[in-house]
Amino acid sequence: MELSRAGDEHGLFYALDLGGTNFRVLRVQLGGREKRVVKQQYEEVSIPPHLMVGTSMELFDFIAAALAKFVDTEGEDFHLPEGRQRELGFTFSFPVNQTSISSGTLIKWTKGFSVNGMVGEDVVSELSKAMERQGLDMKVTALVNDTVGTLAGGRYMDNDVVAAVILGTGTNAAYVEHANAIPKWTGLLPKSGNMVINTEWGSFKSEKLPLSEYDKAMDFESLNPGEQIYEKLISGMYLGEIVRRILLKLAHDASLFGDVVPSKLEQPFVLRTPDMSAMHHDSSHDLKILGAKLKDIVGVADTSLEVRYITRHICDLVAERGARLAAAGIYSILKKVGRDKLPINGSKMPRTVIALDGGLYEHYKKFSSCVEATLTDLLGEEASSSVVAKLANDGSGIGAALLAASHSQYAEVD
């Protein structure tokens, strides 16, 4: 996909961002080159767990109903010209075989989703049919992966953005590559000479990845064994579960929680990454917050200070490993595009911005600061002074709305 450099898109556009346990609906009023994003509003909706493993009709009907409800709240600050259909950029953060700017077939589900009857189907068609069933008159003009959306949104705000990385429920990265460096490329080169590469790096696997017995067992019991290995080491869907498995092993082998193994601790995914983050960030002298979390999640009312410290240490190890592996991925992209060291001719290194999005990066501060510190270590002091990690909050939503605008059916009319 080529990124537009125009920046003069204007009008009202919607975006739907589906990529994890929540989805987001968003509307933006674009004001062209001068005003950029005039106004934006969004709403986040949780997906009931049963819909993540149900049928495509149930899932898309639920999403389209939420979207229709959101459209009903459109205020007077947003202006849709008379006689025009609302247009939507659809961010769909699962591996897709993209067949055009507004169509693509699902390759496989990831991140705990396993919806029946969707693999090989066009995701835009499924959403469009659900919107019709809701009586919602809206056209999907762009299908976007979240990393590509974040890259488009980041680039719109800052032209030095070279890559976008998602660290949330799942993980992925996209970057801007010189078209002549793409072996798979056939046909005419794009005008800009650049192309966006969606790496789908979550599915990376290698013998060099440091898999522990806990990772191997979790992978074996997952909905997609042998797949998304890199993602299973570093993303928000899995970090808390790795901690739970370590705690369970210690409960069995070392009576960590006393003579009886807490039955709640036997439940897969009972310990979520936000809980892990809260335990990890507890800086009180007696780790009171951590103790309260263990009581809520594991059902152990009284834990000794030693048990709390051990638990926090486990959170620290799992988060640090994930963050360092994520930083290694970012470094590999910088190396690929030649932004990992100072130019040989002695000229100044260009400013290089990485747009980062996702709840894990945004909310888990010890994780995100470890990503940044590791990146600095890998780059070295001189090169790292030109590299900026920038939180692109909801970058993928804005990016999807922008791409919907730049591919609007009314683009020729304006």
Task: Give 379-409 as a DSSP string.
Answer: H-HHHHTTEEEEE-TTHHHHHHHHHHHHT-T
CA distance 62 to 49: 12
> In 3-state terms, what secondary structure has residue 412?
coil
- Of the chain, the end-to-end C-alpha distance in Å amounts to 23
Active site residues: 24, 93, 146
CB 334 within 8 A of CB 340: yes
Closest CA to 4 of 412, 404, 316: 404
Q: Which of 317, 19, 325, 13 is nearest to 153 (CA)?
A: 13
Q: In whole angstroms, give the CA distance from residue 300 to residue 303.
A: 7
How many Å apart are CA 223 and CA 219, to the nearest integer? Answer: 8
User: Which amino acid belongs to residue 160?
Assistant: D
